[in-house]
Homo-oligomer: A and B are copies of this chain.
Amino acid sequence: MHPVQEDRALSTSGINNPSGESVERLRAYLQDGAVRGRTTDDVTGAMREAILDGVLSPSTWLRESELATAFKVSRTPIREALKRLADEGLVVKTAHHGAMVAALSLEDVLALYVIREDLEGLAARLAAVRCPEGLVEELDEINAAMREAAEREAVSELSKLNLTWHRALRTGAANPYLERFLNQVEHAVRRLPATTLVHPGRPEEVLAEHEAVARAVKERNGEAAEQEARAHMRRAREIRLAVLLGS
C-alpha cells in the first residue's frame, strides 16, 4: 500500500549510513520551549519536516531511544510520531530494527506525477469556478515574489514560494479532501532529492505556466485552468525525470 523499498531507490544517501550522523543534524531542528500538551505534535512535525527537507535521508535507521534523547522527550511521543509518519508513508517500520525513511522508487515517482496532474488540474478547475475573493491577487503576488527570487537565483526561496503558490491554489478550491490529498502529494514530492527549479530555464517556464493558470482562474474559465494546470504538471514531470535520470 505504501510506496516503499523498491529495487531502484532514488535515495541520495550512501549505504550503511550509521544513524548517529543524521540524528546529529536533526538536533539543529530543535526548538526549545517545549509546551506541554503539544509534545507529540511538535515532534511529529519536526520529524516530518526533517524528512521532507532531506535532513534525515533514507537508509538511516531511526531508533526510538536515539530520537528521544535528541528531542529530550521520552520514547512515547517518538513512538507515536513514527507510527503517524508510517501511516503517511514517510517512514517504514521494521520490527526490532527501528524505522527508516522510506525511499521512493522510479515507479513511485511516475505514479505520483500521474495523480498529481489529475489533482492539480481539479484544484485549478474548482478554484477557477469558485474564484474566491483575493485568490488571483494572492497567486500573482506569490508569482511576483518568485520572479524576484528567480532573478536573484535564490533557489531555496524559489522552491518555498512555489509550494506556497500551489497551496494557495488548492486552498482556493475549498475542498477539504482535495486539500488533504494534495498535501500528501506535496509531502511525497518534497521527498525527492532536489528541486526541479535548478534545471536551466525552468524557473522562467514555471512563472509563465503559473501565470497561465492564474489568468484562467481570473477569467473563471474552469476548463482552461484545468488544462493549464495539467500541462504545468506534465512539464514538471518531464523535468523531474530529466533531473533524476540525467544526473
Contact = CB atoms under 8 A, between A and B. Distances in A.
A62 B173 CA distance: 33
B126 A122 contact: no
Interface string A62-80: 0000000000000010011
A179 B114 contact: no
Contacts of A1: 176, 179-180, 183
A79 B115 CA distance: 33
A168 to B, nearest CB: 15
A53 to B, nearest CB: 21
B84 A115 contact: no
A115 B177 CA distance: 7
A115 B173 CA distance: 11
A215 B37 CA distance: 54
B177 A3 contact: yes
B111 A115 contact: no
B126 A180 contact: no
Contacts of A114: 122, 126, 175, 178
Interface in A94-137: 95, 108, 111-112, 114-115, 118-119, 122, 126
A190 interface: no
A21 to B, nearest CB: 29
For chain A, the bracket of interface size reads: 35 or more
A87 interface: yes
A199 interface: no
A239 interface: no
B84 A176 contact: no
A218 interface: no
Contact of A80 (B37, B80, B188): B80
A108 B114 CA distance: 25
A111 B3 contact: no
A108 B175 CA distance: 8
Contacts of A118: 118-119, 122
19 contacts: A1-B179, A1-B183, A2-B176, A76-B76, A79-B80, A80-B80, A83-B84, A87-B88, A89-B180, A111-B175, A111-B177, A114-B122, A115-B122, A115-B178, A118-B118, A118-B122, A177-B184, A177-B188, A181-B181
